[in-house]
Chains A and B, each alone.
Chain A
Amino acid sequence: MTNSEFSSSSSSSSSPSDRRIGALLRHLTAATDSDNLSSVYASPTSGVSGGSVFAHLVQAPEDPILGVTVAYNKDPSPVKLNLGVGAYRTEEGKPLVLNVVRKAEQQLINDRTRIKEYLPIVGLVEFNKLSAKLILGADSPAIRENRVTTVECLSGTGSLRVGGEFLAKHYHQKTIYITQPTWGNHPKIFTLAGLTVKTYRYYDPSTRGLNFQGLIEDLGAATPGSIVLLHACAHNPTGVDPTIQQWEQIRQLMRSKGLMPFFDSAYQGFASGSLDADAKPIRMFVADGGECLVAQSYAKNMGLYGERVGALSIVCKSSDVAGKVESQLKLVIRPMYSSPPIHGASIVAVILRDRNLFNEWTLELKAMADRIISMRKQLFEALRARGTPGDWSHIIKQIGMFTFTGLNPAQVSYMTKEYHIYMTSDGRISMAGLSSKTVPHLADAIHAVATKAV
């Protein structure tokens, strides 16, 4: 997934519409490869007699991440291993519905007075308040001062998209900087939201760690006021996070240039096992009194993947502004899907509001995080035991669900073909898809590509 094609050379006088079309054209060029671009926009054939008006369409390529699971499902091999999409698996390789989620669902079902009509446009209000507390801290001055607006959205994706569209409409700078690399869906989300996407250096392939120097240089060179997407913790796909000291430097630089922070928090509690520790970078920014956006997802940390539960919070300078911002967020949401789904948010609210369920959740969360940390250790040991050439310490240094192995697309391809191991072509593996039983198989495969010229 190359990101550089999204850097814009549009003039400052281009309209949002022009920028969107321009970005779309570049996106479609990349997507359709050798297809003649003009065929995508060929004049539509007319209705009944001339056939379909959409006859000129070409088939879109598979989504690079979700396409991995599609391919995996097709494979008949008994030793196949899915390390593609980031969904947690137990040691037995099974998906996990958390106990607290089961309990919450039961509670909801038992309540016969529950009505499931339309939520307000902003979603389940109690859920919104609890979500803000979860990410910003119950004692957050911003919450106390009533200057945070939070809207329920469709998981992380939906929160990012609604935030992006809001920024495109109301923020004075229409450029967003995303890390290189980043989650494959980020550039598409912001481009369709109407923003211009640029990148900043992040991952250093030579150290398989953070290119902090490059990061500081690129953000330092950004147009003042630009938006900067920050992964709150457990960077996807690399697993490389700044240290707290580095975060502090990033914060100071960004505030001095008026860069707008937009946090993507998809793994709170999942990275270190501690909800508060994983939220620290965000809280550092909020503590300085400045503004920011935060997209939260409950897909992984509560295992609510398919229910699409998330929240977008915008921390504002005053409660008056927060009120106006909320009213404008509603105008973004209404023509997109009117109001968000009730089920997942209700489950989260039940858990977050109940002290016992909340505590139980933190334990289940830590167990998931610990199992992943253990998988990292096991894989690292297995490669050491095989004498696999190269430095594989990044496997235990990186954090969260993913490891950026450093394998190239050819090596990934080989591992899929010969070992039936599925991962995204950038070499990202989901540690959550590993178990003690399957670590040896993966280690063998990595060893094979590390020792032969693939």
Chain B
Amino acid sequence: MAMAMMIRNAAASRRAMTPISGDFGGGLRSMSSWWKSVEPAPKDPILGVTEAFLADPSPEKVNVGVGAYRDDNGKPVVLDCVREAERRLAGSTFMEYLPMGGSAKMVDLTLKLAYGDDSEFIKDKRIAAIQTLSGTGACRLFADFQKRFCPGSQIYIPVPTWSNHHNIWRDAEVPQKTYHYYHPETKGLDFSALMDDVKNAPDGSFFLLHACAHNPTGVDPTEEQWREISQLFKAKSHFAFFDMAYQGFASGDPARDAKSIRIFLEDGHHIGISQSYAKNMGLYGQRVGCLSVLCEDAKQAVSVKSQLQQLARPMYSNPPLHGAQLVSTILEDPELKSLWLKEVKVMADRIIGMRSTLRESLEKLGSPLSWEHVTKQIGMFCYSGLTPEQVDRLTSEYHIYMTRNGRISMAGVTTGNVGYLANAIHEVTKSS
């Protein structure tokens, strides 16, 4: 009896382990998986950090990896204006498909943020704009659009940039070139090299620009530098595509954060813009954003919008409703909008405060290095200048998680952990 059972069990476990084969009354070919040759993909360098953080059992662990805002207790935040908007939307009877271009109301309100409340371009209906899946979706649709209608073109991308920018234009099959941006020696902008690259690019090239709070460096051109860049772009007839993921989040003032865009508009450029509400409204998971392209006239804007929709339809048909409704509810109500502006400023101010504290702490520890860049850089991220090896030490010895390019998400820094963080950074850099 025991023997029979053993044999049965052995047969069963053999069946469980080997790929199923044999004829299943229909000639199922005896074959292994079609996907056997599929290689395991590398983890996303940014999102993989949070995965690793979550898996770490250490009570001291600090996550300064992915750029999601945290309050001073290290907790994620749902803005009060968003909670109120959710409350107002509860019980909504509308769950139908949005048009392919998304919520017209949300798009209108969003354009005002980027182009200005009184923008003549909005009045003249010269902007082709659609709701997108946050900033990623806007960039991807623009890249697909660029591929389809300017098929010989390339995209110039700053070094460094958000890593997903490379994935986006690659999957859109638009060839990429880079332009100088970050200056490791000064931990600031390599302005002259940037201008050289802009000058040397063929006329009519497409450039990706971070409107404010450059990701990952936090290094932005000054207003004067933006004006010079704009003038050179004019001389070269380049196309400027702005990725604006942090409007309001950088300085605390949305109008100020859109300055680069306003300069280009004043100078007559026909730009493209990707806007995201992930950070500045804390709507991360809702995936709300907007892609806009400024056109010569209203007729052209209609054409361009129709073509953008043709790209969205075979990707997801129409964009998600809920996030768009939240944005509209907040921005169309003066009280809620005012509350939002206050809350954005609070977030920006907290980050600016943490920059000061981190820098002061490092200086107090007697660090041999300069940490001036921590307060000069702006937005969610600080490009610390830490090497990958130093980052690895921070993780393995101190349970501090950040991306290996040394990018620190300042939103993850709190009064509770800034001392620990400063100390750890000092330890791994003091012999530099």
Contact = CB atoms under 8 A, between A and B. Distances in A.
Contact of B16 (A145, A155, A171, A325): A145
A291 B33 contact: yes
A321 B268 CA distance: 53
Interface stretch (B104-112, B299-307, B387-395): B299-307
Most buried by B among A44, A47, A114: A47
Nearest to B140: A336
Given A291-B34, A324-B35, A331-B41, 8 more contacts: A54-B300, A60-B307, A116-B78, A193-B314, A306-B318, A308-B318, A339-B285, A342-B285
B295 A119 contact: no
Contact of A336 (B27, B136, B286): B136
A76 interface: no
A102 B91 contact: yes
B300 A57 contact: yes
Interface residues of A, number: 100
Nearest to A249: B26
B134 A338 contact: yes
Contact of B95 (A106, A252, A306, A332): A306
A377 B163 CA distance: 57
B32 A317 contact: yes
Contact of A185 (B173, B313, B321): B313
Given A17-B173, A317-B32, A157 B317 contact: yes
B36 interface: yes
A344 B294 CA distance: 32
Given A105-B90, A335-B164, A316 B33 contact: yes
B317 A341 contact: no
Contacts of A97: 92-95
A60 B164 CA distance: 29
Nearest to B29: A258
Given A85-B97, A323-B40, A342-B286, A290 B28 contact: yes
Contact of B150 (A44, A118, A255): A44
Interface string B212-231: 00000000000000000000
6 contacts: A95-B93, A157-B315, A161-B315, A328-B41, A335-B171, A338-B136
Contacts, number: 298
A20 B147 CA distance: 11
A336 B95 contact: no
A256 B286 contact: no
Contacts of A327: 40-41, 43
| Size range of the chain B interface in the assembly | 35 or more
Interface in A299-347: 299, 303-308, 314, 316-318, 321, 323-325, 327-328, 330-332, 334-344
Contacts of B86: 109
A117 B149 contact: no
B306 A321 contact: no
Contact of B19 (A306, A308, A318, A341): A318
A186 B294 CA distance: 31
A244 interface: no
Interface in B230-266: 233-234, 236-239
Interface in A152-207: 154-155, 157-158, 161, 170-172, 185, 188-189, 191-193
A439 interface: no
Given A60-B309, A318-B19, A118 B41 contact: no
B179 to A, nearest CB: 16
A316 B20 CA distance: 11
B27 A47 contact: no
Contacts of A321: 33, 35-36, 38
Contacts of B40: 323-324, 327-328
B319 to A, nearest CB: 7
Interface string A42-62: 011011111111111111100
